[in-house]
Amino acid sequence: GVAHNFNNLLFVILNSLSEIQEQIGQKPELAFNLELIKRSATQASELTQQLLNFSRRKPLKRELIKPKELIQELASLLEKTIHKNIRIETELEADLPLIEGDPALLQQALLNLGVNARDAMPHGGVLRFEATKFELKEKRGELLPGEFIKLVVEDTGIGIPPEIINHIFEPFFTTKGLEKGTGLGLATAYGIIKNHQGSIEVESKLGQGSRFTILLPVAREKSKEKDSNPLVKKIVGEGKILIIDDEESLRRLAELKLKKLGYEVLSAGSGAEAISLVKEHLDLKAIAMDMIMPGINGKELFRRIKSVNPNVPVLLISGYSPEGEAEELLEMGAIGYLQKPFMIEEMVGVIEEGTGIKGSK
């Protein structure tokens, strides 16, 4: 499907950017712009995932998040992508408590609100983000009393007509026309906030602008906060890995990066070629296998691989969610599942863990 193809393309973009970032060295301006491109590609990946999962709830990744950093990163991204006639302002309270949730999804929700504000200001204006502590003293809708973070996204745009304001969070509702919008932006933002046990409300005046107010509960657990810039451990790989994928650009990129990490790499673009290589190389350390291959389904290819070499670890990769066939193969002994796009280092981590032989750090 289209989403699967997008995820293949994003895999190549993200991993190619990683390669370029390693090569440019100490060039701050280039490094900054590459990082923005990488963040945008990552957000495109999240949006593709939202389209895949729009009609069904998915479990959230739970991390502790600094609201201030969330807004600052978003403002930095928007400054590079919106017209210069729109001024971005931020008012962020110091020492804000942490919130808990999926940082990529929350940033996507805020980005959707930012893009909506941009479209409401074709002749320029002010886009304002606020983040403050907020205490809810009594029940409000589904929200129980307690401590919250209040996030505000406000614009000085054209405003929302009263007759449609109650419909703006409905899926596929849009006034922008087919060439400018899908009608999923605000609906997706609404769904993300609700899935984080929060609320989102809108106030608007024609000719003056709109104000979206989000309440998100303060994190209660004091678990370790995830480092927003984790250091990637140096991996020195060993052994022979087979990559099975019908996308040549993906195979070539994976081959390049894995060889740099120290692995010997084989690749196959079809099921028949893969089986031939498995027969020829019985000393494979692991196989990374795409679930969607021309002429053969993932389950059949997995079975044929295991009939040739029952002990070889097989990692499943795909642009789709792991429900259905992938779940069956995991029960049959596949060592893991990675959804595209992912970084090659993630794949190496799963392979090393699944084979029980850690690369040197």
Question: What confidence score (pLDDT) does residue 31 get?
Answer: 72
Which domains are delineated in the chain? Answer: 61-217 (3.30.565.10), 240-355 (3.40.50.2300)
Q: Could you read off the pLDDT of 317-329 as tens digits, one per residue?
A: 987 666 678 888 9
Question: CB count, 10 Å around CB of 46?
Answer: 17
Q: How far is CA 296 from CA 34, 193, 240, 307, in A?
A: 38, 40, 24, 16
Asked whether residue 146 carries a pLDDT value surpassing 90, the answer given is: yes
Question: What confidence score (pLDDT) does residue 98 get?
Answer: 96
Lookup result for tokens 């099921």? 271
pTM of structure = 0.52
To which H or E segment does residue 207 belong? none
* CA–CA gap between residue 283 and residue 242 (Å, rounded): 11
Asked whether residue 275 carries a pLDDT value surpassing 90, the answer given is: yes
More confident residue, 271 or 22: 271
Q: Could you read off the pLDDT of 13-34 as tens digits, one per residue?
A: 777 777 777 777 666 667 776 7
Question: What confidence score (pLDDT) does residue 230 get?
Answer: 37
More confident residue, 138 or 358: 138
Average pLDDT on 48-71 reads 71
328, amino acid identity: E
More confident residue, 22 or 287: 287
More confident residue, 235 or 248: 248
Lowest model confidence (mean pLDDT) among 1-10, 271-280, 287-296, 309-318: 1-10
- Specify which residues 136 forms β-bridges with: 146
Average pLDDT on 39-63 reads 62
Q: How confident is the model at residue 121 (pLDDT cuts 50, 70, 90)?
A: very high
Question: What confidence score (pLDDT) does residue 358 get?
Answer: 39
Lookup result for tokens 């259905």? 324
266, amino acid identity: L
281, amino acid identity: H
Question: What confidence score (pLDDT) does residue 30 get?
Answer: 73
Q: How confident is the model at residue 56 (pLDDT cuts 50, 70, 90)?
A: very low
Question: Using an 8 Å Cβ cutoff, are 250 and 11 in contact?
Answer: yes
More confident residue, 269 or 141: 269
Q: How far is CA 349 from CA 53, 68, 89, 116, 232, in A?
A: 26, 31, 40, 38, 11
Share of the chain above pLDDT 70, in %: 79
Contact residues for 325 (Cβ-Cβ < 8 A; gap 6+): 291, 297, 298, 299
Name the nearest CA neighbour of 149 among 89, 206, 220: 220
16, amino acid identity: S
Q: How confident is the model at residue 153 (pLDDT cuts 50, 70, 90)?
A: very high
More confident residue, 12 or 147: 147
